[in-house]
Structure 1
Amino acid sequence: MPVIGGVLAWLGPLASVVAMGMLALGMIAALRLDALLMVVLVALHLYLDWYLGLHLIVPVLAVAYLLLCYLLRSPRHPWAQLRSAGMWGVFLVLTLYPAFRGGSLMLYDAASFYPSDILGALLMYWLGLQVGHDTASLRRFFQLFTLLAVALALHTLFQSVTGTILFASARVDDFLSRTDVAYYQLLDSDTHRAGSFFIDPNWNGAFFAMLSFIPLGLLVTGSRWWQTLCWSLALSLLVLALMCTYSTGAWLAFLCGVGAFLYLVGSLRHRLLILSLAICSFALLAWFFPGQLALQLQHAGGDNELSLRVAAWSTALRVIQAHPWFGVGLGHQAYLLASSTYRVPEQFVPLSHPHDSYLEWAAMAGLPVLALFMLLLLRVSNQSWTNWRRANVSDRPLLGAGLAASITLSINSISINGWTHFALAPMGWLLLGALASPRLGRPVQHLDREVEQHVDA
């Protein structure tokens, strides 16, 4: 131990933190605490790869952990093979040229799009398959994911009150100082929208709109009073954090997700409970936060809100019409330069992406890539839907919460780059992977028989 302490002191404070972090990750991985490790990877990807701009830390860790899961497979921790492997393989190959074309203009895009949105999507989906091997594991994963969301909600609320980001990056602060930070200030007020580690409030709002359904599912399925209290508090904090982002698209997607969850919750009693909870929550928000709601409505009805979005979509459609097969390249710089030729007059500012994930795939990578992405998303969603139909009535709210979260992200991706965001997209694929695990849809007797056969072998 003195030798280790001396080595860490020689390496310096930062290297010591990295070494201790890697040691902790190794212990979590060796103990096969899959759900905990997945949430840690999500947090690291958000802060290190996205916020600090390190890009490749978590993709490398994800590959290493997938290999470890295969080597340490057991009846208690079974190995889940990749589902729809052929489609994923075509997706990886078909996006190589657009990724190279866009990445050749900016190293940041080269280190972001393919590692996070393409390879990262595959890796996180596959890791999700390892986590969701039974309902208990899925519940544990949702509980830990909720704790992470609560921590980020508290951070967002802290930023909204103090204007300070904890563990802030000087690089990000310098970037914001050189850009139009007034974009994050509501018009005719001194209120700033909170972006937290997502930087942009719209992305932060998309996260809370999506993750709010996870504690809601835990709340509905909770059997003890303290569980109900804990998940109610968590849900309240996430909704309050969503308010601090003032994201119109996130709120609309959240309301659509509530409608989807009303169906997916699976019973009339739960539907009445959620409707009552929604009505009471809206009444409380209107009573305690009338000023914030008024600002939200004012922001939603702003002169340039919807019109600029429509103009950005019109520009993207022109780009797609001119480059239908391979796009202009997977990169913000590539799109910013190429779209200037096709920009409609109503888009009065240059934009580096069309503020729509589906148009972004088509404009940057071509219509074939968009079609393949949609097929993959529908295929994985259908796998999750099949598990939901086969699940017991008591388990359906849990799976339904995950499905409602993915639906929320999909709807929100019409107004922002949700499914193409370097931090949000991997979270969505991880959720869908956990829901799509083939073992979730199998009868318990069949799983027990599999375990017995494995032990006998």
Structure 2
Amino acid sequence: MSSRVGRFYVVAVYQCGSAKLLLGLVGGMPIIGGLLVWLGPLAFAAVMGALLLGIVGALRLDALMVVLLVALHLYLDWYLGFHLVVPILAIVFLLLCYLLRSAQHPWTRPRGVGLWSIFLVLTLYPAFRGGSLMLYDAASFYPSDILGALLMYWLGLLVGHDVASLRRFFQLFTLLAVLLALHTLFQSMTGTILFASSRVDDFLSRTDVAYYQLLDSDTHRAGSFFIDPNWNGAFFAMLAFLPLGLLVTSRRWWQKLCWALALSLLVLALMCTYSTGSWLAFLFGLGVFLYLVGHTRYRLSILLIAACSLVSLAWFFPGQLALQLRHAGADNELSLRVAAWHTALRVIQAYPWLGVGLGHQAYLITSNAYRVPEQFVLLSHPHDSYLEWASMAGLPVLAVFMLLLLNAFGQSWNNWRRAALDERPLLGAGIAASMTLSINSISINGWTHFALAPMGWLVLGAVASPLLGALPARNIDQPVEREARHVDA
């Protein structure tokens, strides 16, 4: 009884505080604006961002909140190198979700808490060992790839508590992906990154960025805020399935047109990255989505869209496709990847249990003694997430990581099987997106990238939510009329 009274008190104080906050913002906006202009643009952006997050949290717009956290993590923690902003905000928001849990905003915890606990503990020593050599690695690997993975997966479980919430989350995440696609297209055409950091530009000017120039041409691969085009391509290959799922499940023609346009922009942005691994992963994910879409009519429609898209790309962008094929068949592309994997296997053989330490600097220094001759350049990671876990943190950590992935995919599969026929494409889109990142992680560090990994765990958590599986089981072989429950965006 006392816990209920305490929770009622927290909710009442929070709601009253939220109302006063909104009224205070309206009345004091001129004064606040003047102070922030006087303090400077950095303070203005920081305070206004904090106020925006406070308003979104006060209104319990959970899907919008997690998408804003993703955008902040990409720009602040990854691109600008602040590292810890979003992990702290995610912890605060999770605590807020627990205190304000209700029938409309239910609370749940991840299944397999024991596995997550083992993962958090086993990675402590490798994170300390790798971080002791470089502060950047200490502030990145554990907060983003380990603790950040749990936090974003947990937030995904809460956001995907029903099909309507899952749809809203996919819509908002697609909107963010469209903005990043427009930014990538702008960079590809002008060579300019909007909202660029001079510190990042100075760093790139001191490193070998000729890698981003495509072959013997004057074409540069666009990396946007991900910096590396392969990571940028992995993002678009993964997120392209969200508008595809929304396209299939939308009821109105104008909605289908909007999601088709969004999908087209993401595919065009993927082209600008010229990432061979991302294209192959996207094609694999498309096969997964065709299986999970749940209806033969949907499969035929998607195949028709894919055929028309291929013809359009070949007709309007023959030069770009030719460059992509030349890049995929370049001498050093596959051979260097295989050599990097071979080196990683030798490192794993030498350090099978604890690895060399979770850090790019630790791997760069240690792996040089085991580098095969075919790897003609030093690499700070083996360009494979699974080999990266094993070589940097040890085989036990890789085993636990794979069990966590399989557990999440298993729950997603159960949710998909229990879903009605008209809901399956939406769940299938999230599963296909996560599978795409998993396949792409064979050629790059996808599941171990500081920005990509939290995004992947967020999407996977949204479709693996046990709250979706808690819905009553239905006849999965027959379509169900759900006009009353269907929510159009």
TM-score range, shorter chain: over 0.9
The answer on 1:280 being equivalent to 2:300 is no
Name the counterpart of 2:438: 410
Name the counterpart of 1:168: 196
The letter for the 2-side match of 1:93 is: V
Moved more, 153-162 or 168-177: 168-177
The answer on 1:245 being equivalent to 2:273 is yes
Name the counterpart of 2:399: 371
Q: Quick one: which of 176, 199, 218 aligns to 2:227?
A: 199
Structure 2 CA distance for aligned equivalents of residues 286 and 310 of structure 1: 30
Structure 2 CA distance for aligned equivalents of residues 191 and 17 of structure 1: 34
Q: Quick one: which of 112, 116, 131 aligns to 2:144?
A: 116
Name the counterpart of 1:143: 171
Moved more, 170-179 or 407-416: 170-179
- Cα deviation for residue 289 of structure 1 reads 0.4
The letter for the 2-side match of 1:266 is: G
The letter for the 1-side match of 2:324 is: Q
RMSD over equivalenced CA pairs, Å: 1.1
- Cα deviation for residue 443 of structure 1 reads 2.9
The answer on 1:225 being equivalent to 2:261 is no
- Cα deviation for residue 138 of structure 1 reads 0.1
The answer on 1:330 being equivalent to 2:358 is yes
Structure 2 CA distance for aligned equivalents of residues 4 and 116 of structure 1: 33
- Cα deviation for residue 7 of structure 1 reads 4.2
Structure 2 CA distance for aligned equivalents of residues 162 and 137 of structure 1: 38
> Would the aligned equivalents of 2:418 and 2:473 in 1 still touch at CA under 8 Å?
no
Name the counterpart of 2:94: 66
The letter for the 1-side match of 2:376 is: F
Name the counterpart of 2:68: 40
- Cα deviation for residue 30 of structure 1 reads 1.1
> Would the aligned equivalents of 2:233 and 2:274 in 1 still touch at CA under 8 Å?
yes
The letter for the 2-side match of 1:40 is: L
Unaligned runs of 5+ in 1: 447-457
Structure 2 CA distance for aligned equivalents of residues 154 and 8 of structure 1: 30
The letter for the 2-side match of 1:127 is: L
The answer on 1:347 being equivalent to 2:344 is no
Superimposed CA distance per residue, residues 18-54 of structure 1 (whole angstroms, 9 cap, x where no aligned partner): 1111011011011110000010000000000000000
Structure 1 CA distance for aligned equivalents of residues 326 and 353 of structure 2: 40
Structure 2 CA distance for aligned equivalents of residues 309 and 82 of structure 1: 35
- Cα deviation for residue 6 of structure 1 reads 5.2
Structure 2 CA distance for aligned equivalents of residues 79 and 245 of structure 1: 39
Mark the CA change 1:293 to 1:76 in structure 2 (over 3 Å): closer, same or farther: same
Structure 2 CA distance for aligned equivalents of residues 86 and 245 of structure 1: 39
Superimposed CA distance per residue, residues 335-394 of structure 1 (whole angstroms, 9 cap, x where no aligned partner): 000000000000000000000000000000000000000000000111111101100000
Superimposed CA distance per residue, residues 110-133 of structure 1 (whole angstroms, 9 cap, x where no aligned partner): 000000000000000001111001
Structure 2 CA distance for aligned equivalents of residues 412 and 264 of structure 1: 19
Q: Quick one: which of 404, 411, 429 aligns to 1:401?
A: 429
Q: Quick one: which of 180, 188, 197 aligns to 2:216?
A: 188
The letter for the 2-side match of 1:269 is: R
Give 3-state SS (helix, strand or coil) of 1:190's partner: coil
Name the counterpart of 1:56: 84
- Provide runs of 4+ in structure 1 moved above 6 Å: none
Name the counterpart of 1:452: none
- Cα deviation for residue 62 of structure 1 reads 0.0
- Cα deviation for residue 145 of structure 1 reads 0.3
The answer on 1:104 being equivalent to 2:137 is no
Structure 1 CA distance for aligned equivalents of residues 351 and 472 of structure 2: 51
Name the counterpart of 1:450: none
Q: Quick one: which of 300, 310, 334 aligns to 2:328?
A: 300
Structure 2 CA distance for aligned equivalents of residues 424 and 408 of structure 1: 12
- Cα deviation for residue 176 of structure 1 reads 1.1
The letter for the 2-side match of 1:359 is: L
Unaligned runs of 5+ in 2: 1-27, 475-489
Give 3-state SS (helix, strand or coil) of 1:341's partner: helix
The letter for the 2-side match of 1:406 is: S
Name the counterpart of 1:177: 205
Name the counterpart of 1:427: 455
What is the TM-score with the length of structure 2 in the denominator? 0.90
Identical amino acids, percent of aligned pairs = 80
Write the mapping of 1:357-368 to structure 2, written as runs, cut at 5 A.
357-368=385-396
Write the mapping of 1:311-326 to structure 2, written as runs, cut at 5 A.
311-326=339-354
Name the counterpart of 1:216: 244
Mark the CA change 1:296 to 1:3 in structure 2 (over 3 Å): closer, same or farther: closer
Structure 1 CA distance for aligned equivalents of residues 402 and 258 of structure 2: 37
Superimposed CA distance per residue, residues 166-205 of structure 1 (whole angstroms, 9 cap, x where no aligned partner): 0001111111111111100011100000000000000000
Structure 2 CA distance for aligned equivalents of residues 277 and 243 of structure 1: 17
> Would the aligned equivalents of 2:162 and 2:467 in 1 still touch at CA under 8 Å?
yes
State the aligned residue count. 446
